[in-house]
Amino acid sequence: MADESATDPFRAIADPTRRRMLELLMERGSLTVGELAAEFPELVTSGISKHLMTLRAAGLVVAVKAGRHQHYRIDDDGLDGAFGSWVAQYEAYWTNALDKLRQLSEEASDDRSGPGSAIRT
């Protein structure tokens, strides 16, 4: 059986270096290993490549061959698939919670504007 942690997008983004790589790819569109390595002088190129392999395995980036170089970019489908279902769970919760809050607010407003609520002078 394959190690699921290798393809888990949440584990992939748990590392601050990989999160920064994703930020750079979002900002710039696509980058080569060398261009990414320039942003991380503390890492050797093989370290950059390992981080990119993790991001690829998790479906967060794709590599596109252009001449002799691999250009890495965000995989929009991967990001949407990885995080879309997770976010949807919370979206349903908050939609329900906000609907209840709206209902309570309307009920409270009706109570204040009902009979006998006018200020008498």
pLDDT tens digits, 16-63: 999 999 999 999 999 999 999 999 999 999 999 999 999 999 999 999
- The residue written with tokens 């906000």 in the block is 98
Residue 21, both tokens: 């790589």
- Residue 105 CB-half CA count within 13 A: 6
Residues present in the chain in total: 121
Q: What is the pLDDT of residue 20?
A: 96
Domain boundaries, the chain: 4-74, 76-112
**CA–CA separation, 30 and 68 (whole Å):** 15
CATH architecture of 4-74: Orthogonal Bundle (1.10)
Residue 116 amino acid letter: G
Top pLDDT among 84 and 103 is at: 103
